[in-house]
Chain A
């Protein structure tokens, strides 16, 4: 696990640089086991920084989320670099954002965190409910060790790990300026067995399955907003002229929303799982995204977010591209 003192030391050096305006990392949350994003603008703030298996957020999202209102007359934009801490999965979002020219490589200082997996916070809180005072989670071998309210509990990692971590192909960041720890060997293979059941369903069964899930959707757009790859300046969802998607919440519009989003992420989703994590009504959005991911990999031998030298899948054409799925 990352040495917390080293992490703060590196962060201090980075934020002290004149060409860095902001460092995005993690700090303890407001209660229980939670950790949350930290926005560090001065060296004094680095003391609160941590990295633990509770650091679930993909901070790459913030690089494309920042709103830039018109500057006051005469004011110059602050174009200094942003430093960001990324796990292996998160780093793929940076790569893919750069493949799509969201910003230049030079814009970033990447602090890479080789990661042996984060927890599924819902599982942690279900197992240890009602913890208010600050609790800690650390990884020790094959276990998570949780300390809270004067107690220490050891739990096999597999019981609390986030699902995405159990099949992580890229635990070590694929892009970084400063790597905060030794490389983590790939510890799992991804055979997409988790979506085999969905793939095996008939069309009618699939519709029944998703109709139930999508009928719960309240269109809070947390899945869209948290997604590091959902960063269109003018999302079709928000357009009212013309209305691509109605704002009324019903099964038809909800389905159109989720299918549109899944298609827009085909060949772009980097499997960070944030959409499914934040969904307040537990819609298993990653099942959709993973089906697309698997198809893209099989059809085009393409995985997004691996190399900044890559070209976006859907903006390339090769005569060898398969087209047998076109009716």
Chain B
């Protein structure tokens, strides 16, 4: 059996900034330096990977590309600490290391035939992106796809070009927002939970998935309840500090759940039983 602590070397095919600022977000499109790794690597939307540079460290990020996008993996990474700052220094042609995929996945097979609503805030769109992409690549298997997304400013919006495409193609219902009024902004102004009420998705035969800052999730969950969504219809992801990613090092637990193994994907019904999930 392969030593799970030894990461795979990846090469950056392309890298670009999604959002500017102190906590800027950069997307890396990578492939394995050894193409044979593709034979053993298989991830599903929602899964994560440990991304790092020997000598600096490793951190857990969701894989922000769908398995239907073949030949590369994407990671969208916000600059917050030592490791992410070092990763942000890297450009196309540079290399870093990845191990995984880890954790559970969004139950996309169970969701077949249902209407899907994603509600994202800021960098929280990263784990939702593979869900959206997967559904778009298997469009006939799913009902309506509603994408609700907001960030502080228009510049902070991740995946801008993809939203433009989605808006243009007509098979996705997009709702976008920014927190504060900006000149020329044609969409909603306000916080994501309000945007959700504005978009008013119907709970019938629907699944809602939300990722974003904890405070946003808190109010999104309340508003989904107002809209008639049952806890079983609502999914989110948790994140905690992680070191091993494989259920050994101990720290990522929320109550009895190891976020790295039992998560990161949880239904709201599941999390309602775990007070520490919202700590």
Contact = CB atoms under 8 A, between A and B. Distances in A.
User: In the complex, are there CB atoms of A and B closer than 8 Å?
Assistant: yes
Contacts of A240: 82
B275 interface: no
Interface in A201-236: none
Interface in B57-116: 81-82
B63 to A, nearest CB: 25
A109 B168 CA distance: 70
Contacts of A241: 81-82
A133 B82 CA distance: 52
Nearest to B57: A240
A143 B82 CA distance: 58
**Chain B interface residue number, banded:** under 10
A240 B58 CA distance: 13
A216 B81 CA distance: 33
Contacts of B81: 241
Nearest to B81: A241
A219 to B, nearest CB: 17
Contacts of B82: 240-241
Nearest to A241: B82
Interface string A221-265: 000000000000000000011000000000000000000000000
A240 B81 CA distance: 10
A247 to B, nearest CB: 11
B170 to A, nearest CB: 42
A267 to B, nearest CB: 33
A241 B81 CA distance: 8
A156 B82 CA distance: 58
A40 to B, nearest CB: 28
A230 B81 CA distance: 26
A208 to B, nearest CB: 34
Nearest to A240: B82
A301 B139 CA distance: 82
A70 to B, nearest CB: 12
A245 to B, nearest CB: 15
A241 B80 CA distance: 12
Interface of B: 81-82
Interface of A: 240-241
3 contacts: A240-B82, A241-B81, A241-B82
The 3 closest A-B pairs by CB, nearest first: A241-B82, A240-B82, A241-B81
